[in-house]
A and B are shown apart, each in its own frame.
Chain A
Amino acid sequence: MDSLATLASATWGGPLLVLALMLPVAALMLAFVLGGRHAERVVLATLPIGLGVAVAIAAAIIHQGAALHYDLGGWAPPLGVSLHADGLSATLLLTTAVVLCAVGLYARADFRVPPGVSEARAPLAFWTLLLAVWAGLNAVFLGQDLFNLYVALELLTFAAVPLVCLSGSPQTIAAALRYLLFALMGSVLYLLGGALFYGAYGTLDIPMLSARLASGDPIAPAALAAAALMTAGLLAKTALFPLHLWLPPAHAGAPAAGSAVLSALVVKASFFLILRLWFDVMPASLTHLAAQVLAALGAAAILFGGVLALRQARLKMLIAYSTLAQIGYLFLVFPLVANPAAAPILDLGQTPGAWTGGVLQLVSHAFAKAAMFMAAGLIAGALGHDQLRGLGGIGRVLPMTVFAFALAGLSLMGLPPSGGFASKWLLLSASIETGQWWWTLVMLAGGLLTGAYLFRVLAPALSTRGPPLTLVKPVERSRELVVLGLALCSVVLGLVPFSSFGLVQIGRLGATGIGLP
C-alpha cells in the first residue's frame, strides 16, 4: 500500500529515532496500566533497551558520518513534523540513557512497593514519571519542530514537577509549586515565540526557519521578539541567574534519584533548546550579540552560585547551588563559538574547541552531578540527615560513596584527569584564542569557588578525628557501585583524547549559524 505523502524523506536508521521517542512512551503506558510492582519491572526492562537504541543511533551516525532524519507520518515539513539526530543529539541521548539506567538501578531500594500492599503511591509515581522524563528528554533532543519541542518541554515539566514533591512535605510542595509556575511561564513565553516565528515565516521547522531567516534581507521584527521571548522562557526553565529562584529548593527537596535526574538532565533540555535557537535558527550576526548577554548571565551564575553554595548548611542544598554555577559554564559556549575569531577554524572544516568543550561540560556535569546527588542520598539515608557539620568521619564509614563523591567533585572543579577538566580546558583555551580573556578569569574564579565548597564537604568527610559515626541504616553495596560507576564515567571522559569526540560534531558543520558563514 502506498503512503499518502510523497515528499517524505528518511535516512537509513531513521526508524531508530522513532523507537527512541516511542519506547519510553509505550513503557510509560504499560507501567501505568500494570501498576504495582510491575511498574518497576517495566522500567528496568526498558532502560537497557533504550540504552541499546541510543548506542545504535550513535553508531549509525558515526557510521554514516551524517545526521539521522525521519519524517513522521510521511509528511515532510513544513506541514509535517520530523525527527532529527545529529552528533550532539546522539551524545545527549546516550548520556540520558546512561544516567537513567544508573538512576533506575539506584532508585530500586527507595521506591520498592512495601510488602503487604499491591501498590503504593510513591513507587508508581516515581517509575512512571521517570519514564515520562525520559520520553520528554528524548523528544527534546530529537525534535526538529518548534511546536513539537513545546509539547516535549511540557511533557518534561509535567514529569519533573511531581518528582520534586514526592515526599509530600510542605517545603517540597511549595518548591514544586514555585517550579511549576516558573516552568509554565517559561513554556508560555516559548510558545509565544513559536507563534511569532510562524506568523513571520510560516513554518515551525528549524532548518526551514533558519533558511528563510537567512534569505530574507531584513529580519522580521517578529523574529527578534520571538527569539528574545523564547530565550527568556527557556532561561527560566534552565534556571540561569537571575531566574534561578526555583531550582535550589526544588532540587534539594526531591528524592535523591529525582534530584539526580532533574539536575543532571532536565535543566539541560532547555539549555539545549537555547543552543539550537541561537546556533540553528538565528543568523550568526545576531547570535554574536546575544552571546555576550547570555555569557554575562552565565558568568554571574558561576560566581553567584559558587558563593551561595559556600554558605549552605545542608549537603543537598550545596549540590543544588553547585548546579546553578555549573549551568553558568554552559553559557560561556556562546561567545566562544559565535565569534569572528573562530571563523578560521570553521574554514578548516573543524568545529571550534569551545563547542566540544561545551558539550563535554554538559555531559560530564550530567554524570558528575547525578553521582553527587545520589551519593548525597546514600549519605543522608545512612546518617538520617545531611547537615554538613555532621559529616565528620563519614569517609571511614562509607569510603566508596565518599570516593565517588570526590571523583565527581574532581570533574566539577575541572581538575585533571576528568571530563570536567577536558571541557574547562577547551573552554579556557578557546577564550584565550579568541581574545576574550575575561571569561578566563570567570572560569578560574568559578573553579576556585567550586574547590572551596567541595572542600567544605570533603575535609570533614575524610578527617580521621572525631567520634565514630553511627549509621541509621546500612548502605547497600550495589547502590554505592552504581554511584561510583557514574562518577567514573565523568572522569573517564577526560582520559579520552579530544579527537575521539568527533561524534559531537557530526551534522553540525553544515548547519547555519555555527560561527560566521
Chain B
Amino acid sequence: MSVALAADAGLALLILGLAVWTSIARTAGGAVIGFMAYGLLVALVWVRLAAVDVALTEAALGSGLTGFVLLGAAARLPRDAPAARPGWGLRLAAGVVSAAVAAGLAAVVLLLPVSAPTLAPAATANLPALGLGNPVTGVLIAYRAIDTLLESVVLVLALIGLWSLARDGDWGGRPGALRSADPSPALVLLAQVLPPLGILVGIYLFWTGAIAPGGAFQGGTVLAAMWVLTLVTGLTRPPRVGGRGVRLLLVAGPALFLAIGVAGFWLGGAFLAYPAGYAKPLILAIEAALTLSIAVALGLLLAGPPLAQSGPRA
C-alpha cells in the first residue's frame, strides 16, 4: 500500500501548505480562499480516515458555509490601518509555546498505545436494538442523545447571540446581509435550478443517515445552503426575526427531541430512552425535525442580524 501512503502524504503536504498559506497570505480574501480550499481537502482526509460521516459534515459545513461567512467578512474589512503586529518577544514566546505543543502532540501520536481502546464494538453491538444501520447516528441520537440535544440548543443560542447584535431600531426586521443588489443572470439561473436538486439531496442525506453515512446535520446543512442561494439572489425573502413561525421551526427539533426524551421516562424506562420496537420511527421523527431546525438555524445564521423593517438596505 505504498501508493496509498504516497497519496496520503501528498494530501497531508497539500493541506499543510494551504494552512500555511492561510496564515501568511497578504490579503484577508486570499487567506479565506486558501482556507476554503483547505477545508475541501480536509474532507478528503476524512474519507481516507474512513469517516465519511465527518467528511460530509466537513465538506458542507467546514468548507462551504464557513467559507461563505468568512468571505463575507473579508470583503467588509477596512482597507487601511493594518493592525500592528505584536512585539517580537510575544511572537517568540508564542512560537516556542506553539512549537512545544505541536512537538508534544506529535510525540503523543507516535506513542499512542498499541492496542487502541475503543467503544466501537459496543456502539455497533447495540445498533440492532435501535433498528439503525449507521452507528454514528446511533451515537448521536441514542447513546449520547443529550449531547446532540444540547448541541441543537447551542445553534438556537448562537442565533439569539447573532440577533442580539442588531441595532435596537432594527429589531423585528428581516435579516439583510445576504441580499445582493443586482445578481447576475448566471447566479439567478443557478438559484432557480440548483435548490430543488439540493432539497432532494438534503432530504436524502437525512433519510439515509439511519443506514449509511449522512444524518440531520449534513442534510440540514445542504438545505441551508440551498436556501441561502435563493436568499442571495432575492428569489426568497428571509423571515422577520419577530415571527413566531420561524421560531417554532427553530426549536422544533430540540423540542421534539426533548418531548420524546421526557416520554422515555414512562415508555422507555429512562429519560431519552426509546421504547423497544419503536426506536427507529422515533429516531427518524427526531432526525426529521432536527434537519428542519438545523437548516433554518444555519440559514438564518448566514443571513445575519435583522435590519430595519423598511426593506433591504444595500
- Direct touching of A and B (C-beta under 8 Å): yes
Interface residues of A (CB under 8 A from B): 1-5, 8, 10, 15, 18, 21-22, 25-26, 28-29, 32-35, 70-75, 78-81, 117-122, 124-125, 128-129, 132, 135, 139, 147-148, 151-152, 154-155, 158-159, 161-162, 165-166, 168, 173, 192, 196, 199-203, 220-222, 225, 229
Give the nearest-CB partner of B122 in chain A: A79
Provided the pairs A74-B270, A78-B119, A222-B111 are in contact, do residues A15 and B265 lie with their beta carbons within 8 angstroms? yes
Contacts of A1 in B (CB 8 A): 267-269, 275-277
Q: How far is the CA of A79 from the CA of B254 in the complex (A)?
A: 22
Give the nearest-CB partner of B97 in chain A: A232
For the complex with contacts A1-B275, A33-B247, 8 further pairs of A-B residues with Cβ separation under 8 Å are A121-B164, A125-B161, A129-B161, A135-B153, A148-B146, A158-B154, A159-B157, A201-B117
Q: Is the CB of B154 within 8 A of A151?
A: yes
Contact with A along B115-130 (1 / 0, CB 8 A): 0111100110010011
Contacts of A117 in B (CB 8 A): 171-172
Provided the pairs A1-B276, A5-B273, A201-B117 are in contact, do residues A151 and B254 lie with their beta carbons within 8 angstroms? no
Q: Is the CB of B108 within 8 A of A75?
A: no
From B126, B156, B270, residue with most partner A Cβ within 10 Å: B270
Provided the pairs A3-B270, A29-B254 are in contact, do residues A168 and B146 lie with their beta carbons within 8 angstroms? no
Interface residues of B (CB under 8 A from A): 101, 104-105, 107-108, 111-113, 116-119, 122-123, 126, 129-130, 142-147, 149-151, 153-154, 156-158, 160-161, 163-168, 171-172, 242, 244, 247-248, 250-251, 254-255, 258, 261-262, 264-265, 267-277, 279
Q: Is the CB of B255 within 8 A of A220?
A: no
Contacts of A26 in B (CB 8 A): 258
Provided the pairs A29-B156, A161-B161 are in contact, do residues A202 and B119 lie with their beta carbons within 8 angstroms? yes
Q: Is the CB of A79 within 8 A of B123?
A: yes
Contacts of B277 in A (CB 8 A): 1
Q: How far is the CA of A124 from the CA of B242 in the complex (A)?
A: 10
Q: How far is the CA of A75 from the CA of B256 in the complex (A)?
A: 20
Q: How far is the CA of A330 from the CA of B280 in the complex (A)?
A: 48
From B113, B244, B247, B254, residue with most partner A Cβ within 10 Å: B113
A163 to chain B, nearest CB (A): 9
Q: Is the CB of B117 within 8 A of A202?
A: yes
Q: Is the CB of A129 within 8 A of B160?
A: yes
Q: Is the CB of B142 within 8 A of A155?
A: no
Q: Is the CB of B165 within 8 A of A165?
A: yes
A232 to chain B, nearest CB (A): 9
Q: Is the CB of A33 within 8 A of B248?
A: yes
Q: Is the CB of B273 within 8 A of A4?
A: yes
Pairs of residues from A and B, 10 with the lowest C-beta to C-beta distance, nearest first: A202-B117, A3-B269, A125-B164, A162-B161, A74-B270, A73-B272, A74-B273, A1-B275, A121-B171, A29-B251
* 22 A-B interface contacts by CB (under 8 A): A3-B269, A3-B270, A3-B276, A4-B130, A4-B273, A5-B273, A10-B270, A15-B265, A18-B271, A32-B250, A71-B270, A72-B146, A75-B143, A81-B147, A124-B164, A147-B147, A151-B154, A155-B157, A173-B165, A200-B112, A202-B116, A221-B108
Contact partner, B270, options A32, A72, A122, A222, Cβ 8 Å: A72
Q: Is the CB of B168 within 8 A of A120?
A: yes
Contacts of B111 in A (CB 8 A): 220-222
Q: Is the CB of B113 within 8 A of A200?
A: yes
Give the nearest-CB partner of A189 in chain B: B101
A269 to chain B, nearest CB (A): 14
Provided the pairs A4-B276, A73-B273, A222-B112 are in contact, do residues A121 and B163 lie with their beta carbons within 8 angstroms? yes
Contacts of B261 in A (CB 8 A): 22, 73
Provided the pairs A72-B145, A121-B164 are in contact, do residues A79 and B126 lie with their beta carbons within 8 angstroms? yes
Contacts of B113 in A (CB 8 A): 200, 220, 222
Q: How far is the CA of A165 from the CA of B162 in the complex (A)?
A: 11
Q: Is the CB of A119 within 8 A of B171?
A: yes
B125 to chain A, nearest CB (A): 9
A462 to chain B, nearest CB (A): 38
Q: How far is the CA of A4 from the CA of B168 in the complex (A)?
A: 50
Contact partner, B145, options A73, A165, A196, Cβ 8 Å: A73
B111 to chain A, nearest CB (A): 5
Contacts of A135 in B (CB 8 A): 150, 153
A398 to chain B, nearest CB (A): 28
Provided the pairs A33-B244, A33-B251, A220-B113 are in contact, do residues A202 and B118 lie with their beta carbons within 8 angstroms? yes
Q: How far is the CA of A28 from the CA of B255 in the complex (A)?
A: 10
B308 to chain A, nearest CB (A): 12
Contacts of A159 in B (CB 8 A): 157
Q: Is the CB of B107 within 8 A of A221?
A: yes
Q: How far is the CA of A284 from the CA of B146 in the complex (A)?
A: 31
Give the nearest-CB partner of A154 in chain B: B154
Q: Is the CB of B268 within 8 A of A155?
A: no
Q: How far is the CA of A129 from the CA of B145 in the complex (A)?
A: 23
Provided the pairs A15-B265, A118-B242 are in contact, do residues A25 and B153 lie with their beta carbons within 8 angstroms? yes
Give the nearest-CB partner of B278 in chain A: A1
A281 to chain B, nearest CB (A): 16
Q: Is the CB of A35 within 8 A of B119?
A: no
Q: Is the CB of A80 within 8 A of B276?
A: no
Q: Is the CB of A2 within 8 A of B269?
A: yes
Contacts of A165 in B (CB 8 A): 164-165
Provided the pairs A120-B168, A200-B117 are in contact, do residues A15 and B144 lie with their beta carbons within 8 angstroms? no
Contacts of A71 in B (CB 8 A): 270
Q: How far is the CA of A18 from the CA of B272 in the complex (A)?
A: 10
Contacts of B107 in A (CB 8 A): 221
A209 to chain B, nearest CB (A): 11
Q: How far is the CA of A147 from the CA of B142 in the complex (A)?
A: 15
